[in-house]
Structure 1
Amino acid sequence: MSHRHTDVPARVISEEACPVAEVLDHVSGKWSIGILVAAAHGPVRFTELERRIEGISRRMLTLNLRKLERDGLLTRTVHATVPPKVEYELTGMARELHTHLSGLVGWAEQHRAAIQSARVAYDERKSAATAPGTAV
């Protein structure tokens, strides 16, 4: 249903939807999910996160850690040691989010084979439909 049929001005919908879309964009990204999952079991150091999250560069890890800290999902603690020891930990809000992410991860694992089979079947149908001598 469009906003025109709800008697809610577009401005109100936009003001409410934009922050929600922004938050979902931040927490649903490939690296953000990996960081939140990797940090779920207590304080974790930068190098440990880097090892746990396959394929992430130091720069992407740094940018995403800052973004998640800014959003209030991670706390960053610097210990006064030489060299400085920095740890990241989920906030209460992020632990709640992790519960939901765990459900999503479980769903993805449960349905991975079915999704792969569906992709193969789709690709076969598409390639058969576009093969020379077949009607589209």
Structure 2
Amino acid sequence: MYSIDNKQFPCSTSLTMKYIGGKWKAVILIHLIKKKRYSELRKELPMVTERTLSLQLKELESDGLITRTVHTNKPPLKVDYALSEFGQTLIPLLKGIAEWGKEAAAKSDQVTIVPC
């Protein structure tokens, strides 16, 4: 049994999903393997609403998986996001999930691959 912030998790898998579960968190994290500005993320993830992206980034930052750097040296304000040291430990898992998805898509006759 695991407990974080008075929330209990029955196993390590459920704890992992607390951090990366949901529709967009893992997708955002894999895009942040390389540091990106907010505007770059918006362009790469057009199907994510601005509100959802902002909320997910705040949660990922709160969980310590990403860092947010604000550059105030000259207008306009620029914000960079990147995986934190803790978040970088997820890279092998994220790449594994992406690879599994490719293999599953290749084996399925119900999946259509649309180039990005």
User: Shorter-chain TM-score: which interval?
Assistant: 0.7 to 0.9
2:39 equivalent to 1:17: no
Q: Find runs of 4+ consecutive structure 1 residues off by over 2 angstroms.
A: 13-16, 18-23
Which structure dedicates a bigger proportion of its chain to strand? 2
Structure 1 residues 69 and 14: alpha-carbon distance in aligned structure 2, compared to 1, 3 A threshold: closer
Q: Are 1:72 and 1:91, in contact at CA under 8 Å, matched by a contact in 2?
A: yes
2:68 equivalent to 1:68: no
Which structure dedicates a bigger proportion of its chain to helix? 1
TM-aligned CA deviation for residue 61 of structure 1: 0.5
Given candidates 58, 64, 83, the residue that maps to 1:90 is: 83
State which structure, 1 or 2, has the greater radius of gyration over its C-alpha atoms.
Answer: 1
> Secondary structure at the residue paired with 2:82?
strand
Percent identical across equivalent pairs? Answer: 31
TM-aligned CA deviation for residue 111 of structure 1: 2.2
Quick one: higher RCO (CA 8 Å, sep 6+), 1 or 2?
2
Instruction: Specify the alignment match of 1:46 in structure 2.
Output: 38
For residues 28 and 49 of structure 1, the distance between their equivalents in structure 2, rounded to whole angstroms, comes to 19
- Pairing of 1:113-124 with structure 2 (within 5 A): 113-114=106-107, 116-117=108-109
Gaps of 5+ in 1: 1-12, 121-136
Q: CA RMSD in A?
A: 2.3
Structure 1 residues 36 and 113: alpha-carbon distance in aligned structure 2, compared to 1, 3 A threshold: same
Q: TM-score under structure 2 normalisation?
A: 0.77
Q: Are 2:71 and 2:79, in contact at CA under 8 Å, matched by a contact in 1?
A: yes
TM-aligned CA deviation for residue 18 of structure 1: 5.8
Gaps of 5+ in 2: 112-116
